[in-house]
Every structure is written in C-alpha cells, then in structure tokens.
Amino acid sequence: MEREKHLTKIIGEEAQRASSQEIMKEHRLAFVVHSEEVAQTLETFARKKDRLIKVIPSTRGSYAKEMGIKGSWLVFETSE
C-alpha cells in the first residue's frame, strides 16, 4: 500500500513535466486495467519469477476499440 502511494505521488509529480510513456520507461512499470482473475494470474507469474517475453496486441473487440481501449496478450516464459 505504501509503495502504491509513493508511486502515485511520484508519477503525479512527473506527469506535469513528462509524458506517461517517458515515466513508464524510466521507472520500468506499466499500469494495466484488468479483472481480478487476471490480477491473480499475474501475481502467480511474478511469484514464480516468470519472465515476460512478448506482447501481442489484440486485433479483436470492436466495443473496446470504440471505447479507445486496447488490449494485448502478455506471453511469459517459466523460470524453471
């Protein structure tokens, strides 16, 4: 919780002087909108120290496109 508050403060301050892309690259982080189920899956990958190896942009979902929402498949490699 404290880390989230700190990141929010830093990003808020930096957003006034830099683009979100620059901030994400500098801090090596990304904010992703997702379901609780996806959060649990990502937490499992992180706990196992799996590595993100590829991002595949989704080309489907006309509703999401209409709303300006883009999605991607995140491909992980197991750490074992």
pLDDT at 39 over 80: yes
Give the containing element (helix H, strand E) for 78: none
Sign of CA pseudo-dihedral 39, 50, 53, 28: positive
Per-residue model confidence as pLDDT tens digits over 6-15: 777 776 666 6
The arithmetic mean of pLDDT across residues 24-53, rounded, is: 88
Predicted pLDDT of residue 13: 64
pLDDT for residue 61: 63
* In the chain, domain spans: 1-31, 34-80
Check pLDDT > 90 for residue 62: no
Who has greater pLDDT, 52 or 28? 52
Helix axis angle, 2-15 relative to 20-27, nearest 10°? 140
